[in-house]
Each structure stands twice: as C-alpha cells, then as structure tokens.
Amino acid sequence: MNTKPSSESQIITIDVLKADDLLRNSKYRYLDVRTEEEFNKGHVDFGDVLNIPNMFNTPEGRVKNPNFMEQVQQVCTKDDHLIVGCQSGVRSVYATVDLLDAGFKHVYNMGGGFLAWVQNGLPVAVVTGDTKTEFPSPTSPLPANN
C-alpha cells in the first residue's frame, strides 16, 4: 500500500481565461510541461514562459523526465507563482502534484491546456529556427504544420 501523502486533492485548476488574466496582471509565470517539439510548434505567448517537459515521448510510450524537479528548481523557487500547462490538461496535473509535493506553494493547473488556450483565441507564439513568431491578434490563424 502506498502511504505517501499526495497533493493531488490540493490541486487548484483554473481555466485559460483566468490563467491569461493572472499572467497579464500578476506575478504568475507560465510553466509549459510539454516536450520541446510541442512547445516550438506553438505556445502560450508571454515573455517569461518556461518550457520544462515532465514527460518524454519514447518508442515505448511516455516516460517521466527524471530531472524535472531539478530543472524547475534551477529557474524557480518554491515561492514563485506558477501556472502549469500542457497540451490538453493531463500532464499538467501530474506536474502540479509533483510541484506541490516538493513544497511549491503557489501553483495552479491550467485546465484544458494549450488546446483550450488556442480555442479561446488567446495569444500564441511559434518558434521556427531561431525566430519566434507571435500571433497577437486573437483572430490570427496558426500557421499550418509542415
């Protein structure tokens, strides 16, 4: 029996509109836990967005990034205010639990992930080569994937 206390029941999930508001108007930072490839295809457009994958895709399926917490702690403190997002809201739950278990105090899970962000017409940036292209207009379409 696993008796390890988990912070799963303490997760607070906010919707993308609330996340957008917090990113714009408070000290929250966005932590994107998708893979670098997913991130580069399109991500939440805020200057201080972090991309630290909590899982990697392998031929055997998804495996946990064993260095996730260490990598987060290289750029964040446990007092930082973080909004955690992924593609559709599954991986971010795991990452949020890990962060709460590690003692991070101000962590929100963004429900629906990047897909919900895009569906709501919120600002997106795409990385092509070394160039970051921003789509400030909520009505701007994303470029087609190559």
Active-site choice (82, 84, 86, 126):
86
- Answer yes or no whether residue 85 interacts with ligand THJ by CB under 6 A: no
Q: How far is the CB of 25 from ligand THJ (least distance, A)?
A: 26
Active-site residue, 76 included: no
Site size toward ligand THJ (CB under 6 A) is 7
> Which strand (E) or helix (H) includes residue 128?
strand 124-128
Beta-sheet pairing, 61-64 with 55-58: antiparallel
Strands 43-44 and 124-128: antiparallel
Q: Which residues contact 4 (CB under 8 A, 6 or more apart)?
A: none
**In angstroms, what is the minimal distance from the CB of 105 to ligand THJ?**
24
133 makes contact with ligand THJ (CB under 6 A): no
CA 56 to chain centre: 14
Nearest approach, Cβ of residue 81 and ligand THJ (Å): 22
Show which residues are catalytic: 86
Interacting residues with ligand THJ (CB under 6 A): 86-91, 113
